[in-house]
């Protein structure tokens, strides 16, 4: 018996997942100067995904002692205690910085609790030869099960600003995301700036003070709002409403306040906290993605009491007289456009979604979920510290955040201006929320490519499409059984009761709510019933009056030219939907807000009569674009990459409600298949087709069931008593 136990134990160890050493990869060898003659590298990273906590025991006396906030593995966020999900105990997770031509290998170790699966998507990166590396759970791969690992390996074909995030549930909203930058071997826009540094990559996101699933379920099942309390800039921020209290720093095991003791060990703000291993209390760089920047903390004594923050803001250092490339990434999860501006500085926009554009200057940019913008900041102002302001709109209500643009010879102190001042800018803003474009603002459809299109590309853009799809996006008044019950609390009762909550309606594209299949069609197409796929021509009911839920699929051939007119109807509520296409980039031919709300039929009629203009000559390329409420956005692309590619609203809550579809490009035999050992998954049920003695299959007739019932009744009522009596008599 002892031998058996030892063998089983050894087998478990051999088959288990070896946990990686946690690293921020700040000094990874692949972050280097990229030149035309550089040798391509294979860049490997270990990602450990786990449940974690802000202001954990790793933070010691943070935020009372600000230096403790910079300890390894301390995530202070905005100073509010909450549960999070992170990679390598960092927020954001490790930044990937490589050169064009490099190969990326990421080993993902899933250490999440509750047997929660995951997948990592490489947002904006194309996978022409590795579609099974796109990282979409139950579309291009199985979810990575808890306590298992999965290796992503691919070569990004294009340079640009991208990012990675979880594409499973709402993990992205709780901290599973990070930047991904592919620098070119040579750049046509390089003459516009002096420095392109990793520490000037900026990820902004809304931030809940509770888990995203708690917020989501309360929003849909208990009429609560979904408004974030805060915003983070590179995982940092200050929630102005808080003052430090003892409860937030409580030891959860002993109930003792952690300002004086920690696990019965004496602690002071800069003391040695272990007799066996000394932990440095030197502040880490102000932003964990920084390479070679100096550490330090801002002097807060020049701030009024009401504005004092007990957690540090992100700080971006520059030298006066130099020009810097900043890479802005919008990691949104709710309907919350984020406006970015810098006090006393303009923003020169030079790229969007990884594609160079004709430079232009603006005062602010409204960034939607999934978008990226590269800007040049000219450090030509008097030496000092300047607020970088991020204001939330729509569902963000009053949420805002600030970071600091720090001229390196200026004192380490906060700017003296009010961090909550100025408010949302209206003039000279790129991508303004629900604005059609004017002398005061510009839409992304009005941006121009850095170089004019070649004749071949222009001919392709102008060619009549092989497919033309009108796609209406809206909240629809049907009983969504995921959140309602038509007998006990139907939609009509909820709306007539004065609640007026559009989130109880069905979030749909062409009146269809999207669900993922129970197996990934890219890798297990034969395991996916064809009946689960649908489109507006193939649905089981009148979806305008009945709730329809299925795997919404549009099918095209490899090489087809596809035009999509996406309409933000906004008949039943505003949404500001940033639509993201996996596996392809698209040209933006037009974008216009027509009125407060509009129907698909109106847009189709307008197009049929030549009322919709298309810009071919200067159409830019993106992978994520806003669809204005009461208007439309026209995109066009060549379906050249075989696979199953998700097209969805990048607002995480909206995708969770079903606002998406999948574009199937080509047939299965045209798609690059994964290795034979690739993970498989799916639904399972007992096969009883050959077991006639115990049960009947669902295909058997009701007469057989009736016979079985009568025979059983006859046995218990007649035969059983007779046998018992016979036994007694004997």
pLDDT tens figures, 417-469: 988 777 888 888 998 876 554 557 889 999 999 999 999 999 999 999 999 99
Q: How far apart are CA 422 and CA 402, in angstroms?
A: 12
Q: Judge whether 20-433 and 457-670 match in fold.
A: yes
Residue 127 contacts residue 375 (beta carbons within 8 Å) = no
Give the pLDDT score at 502: 67
Give 405-418 as a 3 state SS string: EEECCCCCECCCCC
Exposure pattern of 257-294 as b/e (b: 16+ CB <10 Å)? ebbeebeeeebeeeeebeeeeeeebebbbbbbbbeebe
- 3-state class percentages of the chain: helix first, strand second, coil last, to nearest 5: 15, 30, 50
Task: Name the token pair of 145.
Answer: 């099960």
For residue 303, give every residue at least 6 positions away whose Cβ sits within 8 Å of its Cβ, in sequence order, or none. 414
Exposure pattern of 430-451 as b/e (b: 16+ CB <10 Å)? bbbbbbebeeebbbbbbbebee
Whether residue 712 has pLDDT greater than 70: no
Task: Name the token pair of 567.
Answer: 């309409």
Q: Which fold has domain 457-670?
A: Immunoglobulin-like (2.60.40)
Q: What is the pLDDT of residues 505-517, one digit of tens each?
A: 888 999 999 999 9
Please confirm whether the linkage preceding 523 is cis (ω < 30° from 0): no
Q: What is the mean predicted confidence (pLDDT) over 700-708?
A: 40
Ordered strands of the 103-110 beta sheet: 83-87, 42-53, 103-110, 149-154
- Indicate the average pLDDT of the chain: 84
* Choice between 617 and 288, residue whose per-residue pLDDT is larger: 617
Beta strands (DSSP E) in 100-176 are: 103-110, 120-123, 149-154, 160-166
> DSSP for 383-409?
SSEEEEEEEE-GGGTT-EEEEEEEETT
Q: Is 541 exposed, middle or buried (0-12, 13-18, 19+ CB in 10 A)?
A: exposed
Task: Name the token pair of 719.
Answer: 């035969």
Q: How far apart are CA 189 and CA 401, in angstroms?
A: 30
Residue 363 contacts residue 344 (beta carbons within 8 Å) = no
Beta strands (DSSP E) in 198-291 are: 201-207, 230-233, 261-262, 265-266
Q: How far apart are the first and last CA of the chain?
A: 50
Task: Name the token pair of 52.
Answer: 């974690």
Region for 105 from its dihedrals, namely left if φ exceeds 0, alpha if ψ lies in -120 to 50, beta otherwise: beta
Q: How many CB atoms neighbour CB 643 within 10 A?
A: 28
Give the pLDDT score at 700: 36
Q: How far apart are CA 135 and CA 119, in angstroms?
A: 5
Q: Which residue in 226, 660, 227, 657 sits closest to 484, CA to CA?
A: 657
- What φ, ψ does residue 221 adopt, rounded to 5°? -115, -5
CA dihedral sign, ordered 603, 607, 611, 617: positive
Give the pLDDT score at 465: 98
Q: How far apart are CA 528 and CA 532, in angstroms?
A: 7
- Confidence tier at 159 by pLDDT (50, 70, 90): very high
Give the pLDDT score at 338: 96
Whether residue 238 has pLDDT greater than 80: yes
Strand partners, 295: 285
**SS3 label, residue 131:** helix
Residue 539 contacts residue 512 (beta carbons within 8 Å) = yes
- Confidence tier at 221 by pLDDT (50, 70, 90): confident
For β-strands 400-407 and 315-318, DSSP reports them as parallel
Task: Name the token pair of 693.
Answer: 């003695």
Domain locations in the chain? 20-433, 457-670, 701-730
**Length in residues, the chain:** 730
Give the pLDDT score at 441: 81
The residue whose two tokens read 């810097």 is 324
Whether residue 275 has pLDDT greater than 50: no
pTM for the full model? 0.85
**Any idea what DSSP says for residue 319?**
-
- What φ, ψ does residue 52 adopt, rounded to 5°? -145, -170
Q: How far apart are CA 239 and CA 402, in angstroms?
A: 10
- What φ, ψ does residue 32 adopt, rounded to 5°? -155, 175
Which uninterrupted H or E stretch holds 15?
helix 2-15
Between 127-131, 528-532, 634-638, the lowest mean confidence (pLDDT) is in 528-532
Percent of the chain with pLDDT over 90: 65
Between 120-124, 126-130, 272-276, the lowest mean confidence (pLDDT) is in 272-276
Whether residue 347 has pLDDT greater than 60: yes
Give the pLDDT score at 185: 94
Give the pLDDT score at 357: 97
Task: Please state which of the four CATH numbers 3.30.420.40, 3.40.50.300, 2.60.40.420, 3.30.465.10 is assigned to the domain occupying 20-433.
Answer: 2.60.40.420
> Any alpha helices (H) in 379-535, and if so which ranges?
455-462, 491-496
Whether residue 262 has pLDDT greater than 50: no
Which uninterrupted H or E stretch holds 726?
helix 720-729
Which uninterrupted H or E stretch holds 372?
strand 372-378
């Amino acid at each position: 018996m002892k031998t058996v136990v030892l063998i089983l134990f050894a087998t478990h160890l051999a088959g288990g997942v070896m946990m990686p050493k946690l690293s921020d990869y700040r000094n990874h060898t692949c972050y280097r100067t990229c030149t035309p003659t550089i040798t391509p590298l294979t860049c490997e990273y270990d990602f450990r995904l786990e449940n974690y906590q802000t202001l954990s025991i790793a933070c010691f006396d943070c935020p009372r002692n600000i230096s403790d906030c910079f300890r390894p593995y301390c995530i202070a966020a905005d100073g509010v205690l909450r549960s999070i999900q992170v990679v390598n105990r960092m927020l954001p997770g490790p930044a990937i910085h490589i050169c064009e031509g490099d190969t990326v290998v990421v080993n993902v170790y899933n250490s999440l609790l509750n047997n929660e699966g995951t997948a990592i998507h490489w947002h904006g990166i194309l996978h022409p030869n590795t579609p099974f590396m796109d990282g979409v759970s139950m579309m291009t791969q199985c979810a990575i099960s808890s306590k298992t690992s999965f290796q992503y390996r691919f070569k990004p074909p294009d340079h640009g600003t991208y990012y990675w995030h979880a594409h499973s549930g709402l993990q992205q909203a709780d901290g599973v995301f990070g930047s991904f930058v592919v620098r070119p071997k040579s750049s046509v826009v390089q003459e516009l700036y002096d420095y392109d540094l990793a520490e000037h990559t900026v990820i902004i996101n809304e931030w809940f003070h509770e888990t995203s699933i708690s917020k989501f379920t309360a929003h849909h099942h208990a009429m609560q709002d979904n408004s974030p309390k805060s915003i983070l800039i590179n995982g940092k921020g200050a929630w102005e409403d808080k003052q430090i209290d003892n409860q937030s720093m409580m030891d959860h095991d002993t109930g003792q306040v952690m300002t004086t003791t920690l696990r019965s060990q004496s602690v002071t703000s800069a003391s040695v906290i272990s007799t066996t291993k000394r932990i440095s209390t030197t502040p880490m760089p102000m932003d964990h993605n920084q390479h070679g920047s100096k550490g330090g903390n801002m002097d807060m004594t020049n701030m009024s009491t009401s504005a004092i923050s007990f957690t540090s803001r992100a700080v971006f250092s520059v030298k006066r007289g130099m020009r810097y490339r900043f890479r802005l990434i919008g990691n949104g999860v709710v309907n919350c456009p984020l406006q970015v501006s810098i006090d006393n500085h303009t923003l020169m926009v030079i790229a969007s979604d990884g594609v160079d554009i004709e430079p232009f200057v603006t005062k602010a940019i409204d960034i939607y979920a999934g978008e990226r913008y590269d800007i040049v900041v000219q450090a030509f102002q008097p030496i000092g510290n300047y607020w970088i302001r991020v204001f939330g709109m729509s569902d963000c209500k009053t949420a805002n955040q600030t970071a600091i643009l720090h001229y390196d010879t200026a004192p380490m102190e906060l700017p003296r201006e009010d961090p909550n001042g100025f408010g949302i800018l209206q003039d000279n803003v790129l991508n303004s929320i629900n604005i059609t474009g004017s002398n005061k603002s510009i839409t992304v459809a009005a941006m121009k490519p850095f170089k004019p299109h070649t004749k071949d590309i222009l001919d392709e853009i102008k060619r009549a499409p092989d497919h033309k799809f009108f796609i209406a996006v809206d909240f629809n008044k049907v009983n969504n059984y995921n959140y309602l019950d038509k007998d006990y609390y139907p939609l009509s009762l909820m709306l007539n009761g004065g609640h007026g909550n559009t989130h109880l309606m069905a979030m749909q594209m062409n009146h269809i709510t999207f669900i993922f299949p129970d197996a990934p069609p890219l890798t297990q197409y034969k395991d996916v019933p064809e009946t689960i796929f649908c489109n507006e021509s193939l649905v089981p009911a009148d979806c305008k009056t009945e709730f329809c839920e299925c795997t919404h699929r549009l099918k095209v051939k490899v090489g087809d030219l596809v035009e999509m007119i996406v309409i933000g109807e906004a008949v039943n509520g505003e949404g500001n939907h940033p639509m993201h296409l996996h596996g392809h980039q698209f040209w933006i031919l037009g974008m216009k807000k027509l009125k407060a709300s509009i129907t698909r039929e109106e847009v189709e009629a307008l197009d049929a009569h030549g009322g919709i203009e298309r810009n071919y000559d200067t159409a830019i390329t993106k992978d994520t674009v806003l669809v204005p409420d009461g208007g439309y956005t026209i995109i066009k692309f060549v379906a050249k990459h075989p696979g199953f590619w998700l097209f969805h609203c990048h607002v995480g809550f909206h995708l969770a409600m079903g606002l998406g579809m999948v574009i199937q490009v080509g047939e299965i035999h045209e798609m690059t298949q994964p290795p034979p050992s690739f993970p498989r998954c799916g639904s399972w049920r007992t096969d009883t087709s050959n077991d006639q003695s115990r049960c009947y299959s669902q295909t058997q007739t009701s007469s057989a069931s009736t016979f079985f019932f009568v025979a059983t009744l006859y046995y218990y009522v007649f035969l059983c008593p007779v046998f018992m009596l016979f036994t007694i008599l004997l």
